[in-house]
Amino acid sequence: MYSRSLRLRWSLLAVAVPMTVTIAATGCSSSSSSVDRTAGSGSDSAVAAARKAVDSRLGAQTFKADLSPIDQIAKAKGKKVLYTAISLKIPYFQAVLKTMQTATADAGTTVDGCDGNLTPANIAACVTQAISQHYDAIVLDNIPVDLIGQGANALKGAGVQIISAEGEGLPAANGVTYAGTGGPEMLQTAANWVIADSGGKANVLLVQQNDTPLQAKYVQEYMKPTFDKNCPACKVQITSITAAQLNNLGTQVSTALLKDPKINYVLSEFDANVQYIVPGLQNSPRGKSVKLVGAIGDLAALQRVANGPYQRAEIQVSPSYAGWAVADQTLRVLTGAKTWDRLDAPFRIFDTSNIRDVRVAQEAIDSGVIFGGDTWSSAFRASWRLS
pLDDT tens by residue, the chain, 387 residues: 444 444 334 433 333 333 343 334 333 333 333 454 444 443 489 999 999 999 999 999 999 999 999 999 999 999 999 999 999 998 889 999 999 999 999 999 999 999 999 889 999 999 999 999 999 999 999 998 988 999 999 999 999 999 999 989 999 999 999 999 999 999 999 999 999 999 999 999 999 998 878 889 999 999 999 999 999 999 999 999 998 899 999 999 999 999 999 999 999 998 889 999 999 999 999 999 999 999 988 899 999 999 989 999 999 999 999 999 999 999 999 999 999 999 999 999 999 999 999 999 999 998 899 999 999 999 999 999 986
Query: With contact defined as beta carbons under 8 Å apart, do 153 and 146 qualify?
Result: no
What does the DSSP 8-state code read for residue 17? P
Compute, in degrees rounded to 10, the torsion defined by CA atoms 10, 15, 19, 24: -30
Query: With contact defined as beta carbons under 8 Å apart, do 108 and 98 qualify?
Result: no
Domains 16-60+184-316 and 73-181+319-343+372-383 share a fold: yes
DSSP output for 60-126: -------PPP-TTGGGGTT-EEEEEES-TTSHHHHHHHHHHHHHHHTTT-EEEEEE-TTSHHHHHHH
Q: What is the CATH superfamily name and number for domain 16-60+184-316? A: Response regulator (3.40.50.2300)
Could you tell me the residue ranges of all domains in the chain? 16-60+184-316, 73-181+319-343+372-383
Instruction: Provide the whole-model pTM.
Output: 0.86
The three-state secondary structure class of 160 is: coil
- Domain 73-181+319-343+372-383 -> CATH class: alpha beta
The CA-CA-CA angle for residues 48, 217, 199, to 5°, reads: 20
Nearest alpha carbon to residue 238 among 11, 14, 16, 18: 18
According to the model, what pLDDT value does residue 118 have?
84
Whole-angstrom Cα distance, residue 13 to residue 148?
A: 14
